[in-house]
């Protein structure tokens, strides 16, 4: 299993500013994933982050808007840049653990409100 800690758990930010979300895992993992969950909606994958290389972004998401760092095998950050009210969402960090059972684990999420 994996325990994922995200910081902050919630924040209210002014438009035009940036917020960096931290994700800490209690075990070493190759891939970390960042999702966005808009209010009352499903989860959409933003990007996958592999340690030591640039993140791979999904269609509709760009590095300038959502820069990601992955300095080691247990930590990653997602920055939401130049925020607008449309960025108000829950952002979730996830890892996949392979063992007897392959399972994705999620952090509790960061609830972001942009005003």
Partner 1 sequence: GENVEQHPSTLSVQEGDSAVIKCTYSDSASNYFPWYKQELGKGPQLIIDIRSNVGEKKDQRIAVTLNKTAKHFSLHITETQPEDSAVYFCAASSLSGGYNKLIFGAGTRLAVHP
* Interface residue list for partner 1 (CB under 8 A): 4, 30-31, 41-45, 48, 92, 94, 96, 101-109
Q: How far is CA 52 from the centre of its chain?
A: 17
Q: Please choose, from the candidates 113, 60, 61, the residue with its C-alpha nearest in 3D space to the C-alpha of residue 84.
A: 113
Minimum distance of partner 1 from residue 100's CB (angstroms): 13
Minimum distance of partner 1 from residue 82's CB (angstroms): 26
Q: Please give the structure tokens belonging to residue 108.
A: 């509790």
Nearer to partner 1, 11 or 81 (CB): 11
Nearer to partner 1, 13 or 43 (CB): 43
> Would you say 21 and 36 are in contact if contact means Cβ atoms under 8 Å apart?
no
Minimum distance of partner 1 from residue 22's CB (angstroms): 15
Nearer to partner 1, 50 or 81 (CB): 50
Minimum distance of partner 1 from residue 54's CB (angstroms): 14
Q: Please give the structure tokens belonging to residue 71.
A: 């300095």
| Residue 49: CB atoms within 10 Å | 24
Nearer to partner 1, 66 or 91 (CB): 91
Question: Measured between alpha carbons, how far is 2 from 73 in angstroms, rounded to an integer?
Answer: 13
């Amino acid at each position: 299993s994996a325990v994922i800690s995200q910081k902050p758990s919630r924040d209210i930010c002014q438009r035009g500013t940036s917020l960096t979300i931290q994700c800490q895992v209690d075990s070493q993992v190759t891939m970390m994933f960042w999702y966005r969950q808009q209010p009352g909606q499903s989860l959409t994958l933003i990007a996958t982050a592999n340690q030591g290389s640039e993140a791979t972004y999904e269609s509709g998401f760009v590095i300038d808007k959502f820069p990601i760092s992955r300095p080691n095998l247990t930590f990653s950050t997602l920055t939401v840049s130049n925020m607008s009210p449309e960025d108000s969402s829950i952002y979730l960090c996830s890892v996949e653990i392979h063992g007897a059972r392959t399972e994705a684990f999620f952090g509790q999420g960061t609830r972001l409100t942009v005003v």
